[in-house]
Every structure is written in structure tokens, then in C-alpha cells.
């Protein structure tokens, strides 16, 4: 069993008028086998949490800790975190012109596993994963994320999730920008990943829509840079009805 522990995490960003605190003491523990949903209004700091876990240089951790099976994640470089088993599906995946999807996938897989994948099985695995996510074959030779539609980018994030097979997946609004068919396809991918056993999922979302397909064990309402309320999936239903109005005063 694996555990991802976030303890009293404070994070700030550099602004023109000095550092600005975004995360104001986040406590959250995800065990493998669990799916946690983080729901919160725009600007509440959800992406900040996701990026801070992955080690984005824009965010400065001012205090608190993040432990992966007891190891200090915050002391690791970005690539070390990924190799330790953390995966972030980004809200806005980055375009990398000139780097083909297939080259990128192979390079990442080699880095994460510490050895190059066996060619025959790898090609088959990639093909199967692409088919399951309804990604056309020719995407393998396209430049990474370059010119992909919003929905295509999201499906590619889940493709990477399935192929790299980390311990913990942080999914930052993977559902936004997806039509209903794509939402189902992407949710199936996340569920396949979670069914591999011993996997933890931190599902960040603004809407409850995706929770029809991915069942959370726990729901955390995120407001103003910290967890404002926690509960089971019934909390999501309450949010569905009332929105975030109880937490922020205005409908979000």
C-alpha cells in the first residue's frame, strides 16, 4: 500500500507586488485504492495544489510537507517526483513542437521505468491504449499536443497516465472541455488505471458531472486555498444542488 500525505501546505506565487499566498494550510491524505475528489470554485487554488505537488517552479512552498510513502516529495526535482510515482494530468497540457508523441512516450516510459520498454510489447501497448481512448493512429507521429483540440489534449493526458502507470494520479480538471462521449472515454481510462490495484487518484474538478463516471470515496471542498469541508460522495450531491454558495457567499 502507498500513501500520499499533504500536511499543512502553504504555497505562494511571486507577483509584481511581492509574494502572494495561495494555499493556506492544506491537509490531505490519499491512500492507494482510494479516489478523492477535490471540488472548488474558480481561483480557489486547485491547480496551485496540483502544480505544487508536481514541483512547478512558479510555486514556492513556504511551509508544510508532502510525503510519498514517507519520502520527502518537496525535496525532489520535478522529474524525480514523476519517477517516484506521482503523475499530474494538467489542466492545460503544453504544446512541444518538433517532439513527436511516440518519441515522447517512449522517452518518458524509459525514464520512469529506468529501462527502455521492450519494443514489441510497447508498440502493442501504445496501440491498445490509444484505441481504448479513441485516439487515431496518426497522432503518434504528430508533435506533442501541438494543434490538438482541448479534448484531444485531455485524452492524451490519460493515455500517458495509463502507459506510465504511476502510483498516484492528480487529475486537474481533466473533465473540462470534454463532450459527453469524450468524458465517458476519459473516465473509463481513469477507472482502468485505478483498477490496476494499489493506485490513488486525486480528482480535481469544478463540476460534479464527471463524478457520475468516476466514483469518489471522499470529497473535499476547496475554498480560499484550503479544505473547507470533507465528506463522502453525498457531499458532491449537495454541491450539485447548491453550488459553492455556502462557502463563498456568491454562486460560483
Interface positions with Mg ion (CB under 5 A)? 46-47, 91
Q: How far is the CB of 27 from ligand ATP (least distance, A)?
A: 17
Interface residue with other proteins, options 39, 54, 130, 158 (CB under 8 A): 54
Return the one option of ligand ATP, Mg ion, other proteins, none that residue 88 interacts with (CB less than 5 to 8 A, by type).
Answer: other proteins
What is the number of other CB atoms lying within 10 angstroms of the CB of residue 142? 16
Alpha carbons 143 and 137: distance in angstroms, whole number: 13
Nearer to ligand ATP, 153 or 206 (CB): 206
Alpha carbons 134 and 242: distance in angstroms, whole number: 35
Nearer to Mg ion, 25 or 43 (CB): 43
Alpha carbons 121 and 113: distance in angstroms, whole number: 15
Interface residue with other proteins, options 40, 55, 189, 216 (CB under 8 A): 55
Q: Is 20 in the site for other proteins (CB under 8 A)?
A: no
Residue count at the site for other proteins (CB under 8 A)?
Answer: 30
Nearer to ligand ATP, 130 or 171 (CB): 171
Stretch binding other proteins (CB under 8 A), from 35-43, 100-108, 187-195, 241-249: 100-108
Q: Which residue is nearest to Mg ion (CB)?
A: 47
Binding site for ligand ATP (CB under 6 A): 13, 15, 20, 22, 40, 42-48, 91, 173, 206
Q: How far is the CB of 120 from other proteins (least distance, A)?
A: 22
Burial of residue 76, with CB atoms counted within 10 A of its CB: 0-12 exposed, 13-18 middle, 19 or more buried: middle
Nearer to ligand ATP, 46 or 109 (CB): 46
Alpha carbons 134 and 132: distance in angstroms, whole number: 5
Alpha carbons 172 and 87: distance in angstroms, whole number: 11
Q: How far is the CB of 122 from ligand ATP (least distance, A)?
A: 34
Nearer to ligand ATP, 11 or 133 (CB): 11
With contact defined as beta carbons under 8 Å apart, do 174 and 209 qualify? no
Query: Where on the chain is the footprint of other proteins (CB under 8 A)?
Result: 14, 54-58, 77-79, 81-83, 88, 90, 93-99, 103-104, 107-108, 111-112, 143, 160, 164
Amino acid at each position: 500500500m502507498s500513501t500520499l500525505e499533504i500536511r499543512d501546505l502553504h504555497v505562494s506565487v511571486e507577483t509584481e507586488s511581492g509574494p502572494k499566498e495561495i494555499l493556506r494550510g492544506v491537509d490531505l491524505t490519499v491512500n492507494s485504492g482510494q479516489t478523492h475528489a477535490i471540488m472548488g470554485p474558480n481561483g480557489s487554488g486547485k491547480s496551485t495544489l496540483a502544480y505544487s505537488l508536481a514541483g512547478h517552479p512558479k510555486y514556492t512552498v513556504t511551509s508544510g510537507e508532502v510525503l510519498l510513502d514517507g519520502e520527502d516529495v518537496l525535496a525532489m526535482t520535478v522529474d524525480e517526483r514523476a519517477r517516484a510515482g506521482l503523475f499530474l494530468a494538467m489542466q492545460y497540457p503544453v504544446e512541444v513542437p518538433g517532439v513527436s508523441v511516440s518519441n515522447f512516450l517512449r522517452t518518458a516510459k524509459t525514464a520512469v521505468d529506468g529501462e527502455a520498454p521492450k519494443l514489441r510489447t510497447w508498440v502493442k501497448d501504445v496501440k491498445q491504449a490509444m484505441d481504448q481512448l479513441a485516439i487515431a493512429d496518426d497522432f503518434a507521429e504528430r508533435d506533442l499536443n501541438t494543434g490538438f483540440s482541448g479534448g484531444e489534449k485531455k485524452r492524451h493526458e490519460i493515455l500517458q497516465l495509463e502507459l506510465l502507470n504511476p502510483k498516484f494520479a492528480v487529475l486537474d480538471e481533466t473533465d473540462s472541455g470534454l463532450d459527453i462521449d469524450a468524458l465517458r472515454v476519459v473516465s473509463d481510462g481513469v477507472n482502468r488505471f485505478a483498477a490496476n490495484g494499489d493506485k490513488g487518484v486525486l480528482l480535481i474538478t469544478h463540476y460534479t458531472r464527471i463524478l457520475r463516471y468516476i466514483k469518489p470515496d471522499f470529497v473535499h471542498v476547496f475554498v480560499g486555498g484550503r479544505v473547507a469541508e470533507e465528506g463522502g460522495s453525498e457531499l458532491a450531491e449537495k454541491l450539485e444542488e447548491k453550488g459553492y454558495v455556502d462557502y463563498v457567499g456568491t454562486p460560483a
